[in-house]
């Protein structure tokens, strides 16, 4: 059965929390989702769920971050978190969510999407090591440097110097490991 991917609604929030908690085995990411929703960086049309038989089984968010460049800063977007219910993992649901949310970000005119993640996983969607395009993401000590990833979208302009610099996470991420 193919999941339905759609924009989240307030009626989904409890089910999303359950999926995120189960996927990460932690409440930290549940708190992150709530903080993002409560922030000015929340992009409602880029918060999606995957639904099977009327049940939410996956969730992804793309929300605002900042890219500090040589002459200032500019808003960009980042993908975090991505969660799929453990019983539904390895069935393509996460990939479907990533493809749909990045497609929607591109349709909104975003030039790129950044994330911290497994290069082996994210590369299948076109993400590359961010330093190859001049974007630096401060990672936790335990993460390999290649976990700093970026997907270039149709509006990306390689000649735009404001698209090179250091990613600054929004306050919603403060204290989340």
Taking the domains of the chain in order of start, what are their residue ranges?
4-170
Model pLDDT, residue 177: 64
- Which tens digit of pLDDT belongs to each residue from 85-109? 999 999 999 999 999 999 999 999 9
Using the predicted structure, report yes or no on whether residue 166 has a pLDDT greater than 90: yes
C-alpha to C-alpha distance for 162 and 123, rounded to whole angstroms: 24
C-alpha to C-alpha distance for 18 and 37, rounded to whole angstroms: 16
- Which tens digit of pLDDT belongs to each residue from 127-147? 999 999 999 999 988 889 999
Class of the CATH domain delimited by 4-170: alpha beta
C-alpha to C-alpha distance for 161 and 163, rounded to whole angstroms: 5
- Which tens digit of pLDDT belongs to each residue from 34-44? 999 999 999 99
Contact criterion met (CB below 8 Å) for 92 and 83: no
3-state secondary structure of 157: coil
Half-sphere exposure of 63 (CA within 13 A, CB side): 25
- Which tens digit of pLDDT belongs to each residue from 118-129? 999 999 999 999
SS (H, E, C) 105-145: HHHCCCCEEEEECCHHHHHHHCCEEHHHHCEEECCCCCCCH
Give the pTM. 0.95
pLDDT band with cut points at 50, 70 and 90 for residue 176: confident
């Amino acid at each position: 059965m193919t999941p339905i991917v759609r924009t989240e609604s307030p009626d989904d929030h409890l089910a999303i929390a359950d999926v995120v908690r189960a996927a990460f085995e932690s409440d930290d990411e549940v708190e992150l989702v709530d903080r993002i929703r409560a922030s000015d960086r929340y992009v409602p049309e880029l918060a999606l769920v995957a639904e099977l038989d009327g049940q939410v089984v996956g969730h992804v968010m793309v929300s605002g971050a900042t890219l500090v460049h040589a002459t200032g800063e500019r808003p960009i977007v980042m993908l975090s978190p991505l969660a799929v219910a453990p019983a539904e993992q390895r069935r393509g649901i996460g990939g479907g969510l990533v493809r749909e949310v990045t497609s929607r970000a591109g349709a909104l005119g975003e030039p790129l999407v950044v994330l911290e993640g497994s290069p082996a996983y994210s590369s299948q969607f076109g993400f590359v090591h961010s330093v190859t395009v001049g974007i630096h993401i401060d990672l936790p000590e335990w993460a390999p440097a290649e976990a700093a990833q970026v997907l270039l979208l149709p509006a990306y302009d390689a000649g735009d110097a404001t698209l090179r610099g250091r990613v600054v996470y929004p306050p919603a991420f403060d204290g989340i490991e």
